[in-house]
Amino acid sequence: IRLTLFAIIILFLTRFTLTIHRTGLPFVAVLIDDSASMGLEDDYAELSSTSMSKPFLQESRGKNRLELVKDLLLQNEARFLTELQNKHKLRLYHFSDECLPLGEPGLIDLQNYQRTQEVLKQLEPVGKETRPFHAVQKVLNDFRGTPPTAIIVLSDGISSTGDLDLLSRAGTLAKSKLVPLFPVGVGSEQPVKDLQLYDLLVDDVAFINDPVTVSAKVKFFGIQSGNMKVSLREARTGSPLASRQFPINAQKDYQKIELTFTPTKPGLLEYVIAVEPVKGEVNLKNNQQTSQISVLDQKIRVLLVDSVPRYEYRYLKHLLERDKTIELRSILQESDLEYSSEDATALDYFPVKKEDLYQYDVVILGDADPAYFSQAVFENLDQFVREKGGGLIMVAGPRFSPHAYLNTDLEALLPVEISNNRQPAEYKPVIEGFQPELTTEGQFSTSIFRFADNAEESQLIWNQLPELYWFYAADEIKPGASVFAVHPTQKGKKGQRIPIISTQRVGAGKVIFNATDDLWRWRDLVGDLYYSRFWVQTIRYLSRSKLLNQEQAVELTLDRKTYQQADTVQFRVKFLDEQLIPTDSKSVTVMLERQGEASKPVKLTPLENSPGIFEGSVSNIPEGAYHTWVSQPILQGTPPAVDFRVEISQRELVNRDMNQSDMKKTARESRGKYFPIYAAEQLPQAIPAGHPVPLENEEPIPLWNRWEFLILFTLLISAEWLLRKRFRLV
């Protein structure tokens, strides 16, 4: 009894107090890499791992790295996350160039499996950069004061910004805070074999029996040598149109490919260009692209104008008269009065009314005297090109073209600057010939100079054509204009080589300036063989815009043809006919379709102060080839359509192989453990239990002054006194 009393006295003296601390489960952070490299696919069948199960091999086929991560987290009703949540609270993050929490604020409630599924399925591999160190550093800062039990990193381990952002650097940082890292490697260390077809180029309009050249580029990944087969076929029937073998040169950034075919039927032709997969290639989605071309069976209406019947005029007129695809009208300004009645194609005068001029698709203006044209004619020609999409070609001459058109409306249409300082001398003898040189644009961006089935053979033919002599020396090219051919030696005032054939787009139409009238010399020994191809292809090149405008009163355009992942794609629909503008501002819709997937609508809104223009945008769409068209309002004929491509960030493409060694190093340095994706189901059992996390402290409860202890003390001391008295110890 005395010992108990002594203990109670000590309790009173020390003012004994009860303190209650409430604790919760420790945290585990899960980081998910959603950078662009996580959109790559790997061939796990080539990995010789005995621990890789057959079900995993089957389920991994056709899935990219991020999709495998989603499968791990969501399969069996999120079993992986549920096992982690049994002993820990979870906080999920996604990272690429930034690290952001998933959900609000990254906490996942697995009681609501549907919500968890929605949050994770929203992730797409669109990040432009991968910064693993920055991501782990951000998480550790978020848990400052209460570090998590562990950090799980689901990634391919690639740092696209250099060694400073390697995950292993985060291992040292995590070790200093006693937080183990558990990297889960997604991907393969073996080079990812991939052929990527992109940058498809082809004219929107072609003509029956007119050769069409389809060009594209191919990038190589994990392939050093060999050949690749490229084929062109009809999309609906699968009928082959063309095919060709190309060598693989891994030393180049890309390989340019070209295929040529000749359409034989009018209508809308949908075709597929495809690169045959190489052995071991997994991602086949970027091996082909689909596009379409309008094949026309109608004559092109051409108006040929000159002052006198010079050689170029004569040969060109006779050529166009014989061509069955062209309907020619000609004007010779200094001809006899009876000339128009003797020549079936001749007109008495240049069309004065707009309606008469707009009947033509292309106007060829030779060395014509501008004094024959009124101001109204110049204005009509300007509108013919800018608004109606008509084509205009001026063939230079020693008398008038182009210097006599200085300070006229036509001066603004030409791709070259007109100067009074360097006018060509009339009938000045020229004895030194020259061979024009094609520029890169002349070789590859147009079919005008296509004299054979491919660019290489066409270049050989071009180099062997007869020399030209006379040319107009333009001082400089206008900004935005393109040069197709240049003089081999002569240079302008600013040091650039003098343009011989140049072009520019003006409004809806195109204009070509031909600085020489000696192309007729190409007929030497071969007749019209190459002379005809050049002129007919040039006329068709210029006529396409006008023919398209006749078919479509609505234009669909994009701000560019190729995008990086995470870029915003801007759509614009322009109604050229006011009667087609919908009254409901919400009724303009374009459909967006990724190759091999279902299409989805994109709503456009009217541009302020421009009721005929509607704009809209879409962001964060995955890598791939896309086709978009106007679905609302419903239009007659084929709706306007555009193709574009979304590419993986170039930084993300530099390193495509999983960095397994760095992730293993991270695990060692942080005292965690590395798991490959196919064995990651065992990871939850490897996570340490951790320490309870203090949540709050309740108000202390003083025990030393409670009445219960006072009563107990009184009872004990009384009992002790009574016992001592009974046993006569007092």
Condensed to tens digits (0 to 9), the pLDDT of residues 185-221 reads 998 877 778 888 877 777 777 888 777 888 888 888 8
**Looking at the 3D structure of the chain, how many domains does it have?**
5
Q: Is the previous residue joined to 402 through a cis bond, with omega within 30 degrees of 0?
A: yes
Q: Residue 72: pLDDT band by 50, 70, 90 thresholds?
A: very high
Q: Are 499 and 416 in contact (CB under 8 A)?
A: yes
Domain boundary among 257, 274, 297: 297
203 lies in the same domain as 281: yes
**Range with lowest mean pLDDT among 79-93, 301-315, 553-567:** 553-567
105 lies in the same domain as 224: no
pLDDT above 70 for 642? yes
Residue with tokens 């029956």: 208
Query: Mean pLDDT throughout 1-5?
Result: 76
Q: How far apart are CA 286 and CA 629, in angstroms?
A: 21
Tokens representing residue 404 in the block: 């006599």
Q: What is the CATH number of the domain that holds 534?
A: 3.40.50.880
Q: Which domain holds residue 205?
A: 193-297
141 lies in the same domain as 248: no
* DSSP H/E element including 459: helix 455-463
Q: What is the CATH number of the domain that holds 592?
A: 2.60.40.1930
Residue-wise pLDDT for 453-495, tens only, equals 677 788 999 999 999 999 999 988 998 899 999 999 998 888 8
Residue-wise pLDDT for 246-281, tens only, equals 888 877 778 888 888 988 888 888 889 999 988 877
Domain boundary among 254, 275, 297: 297
- SS3 for 349-416, per residue? CCCCCHHHHCCCCEEEECCCCHHHCCHHHHHHHHHHHHCCCCEEEEECCCCCCCHHHCCCHHHHCCCE
Half-sphere exposure of 574 (CA within 13 A, CB side): 7
Helix and strand element counts for the chain (H, E):
17, 35
Q: Residue 160: pLDDT band by 50, 70, 90 thresholds?
A: confident
459 lies in the same domain as 513: yes
346 lies in the same domain as 487: yes
578 lies in the same domain as 538: no
54 lies in the same domain as 159: yes
Burial 133-162 (b: 16+ CB within 10 A, else e): bbbbbbbbebbeeebbbbbbbbbbbbbbee
232 lies in the same domain as 348: no
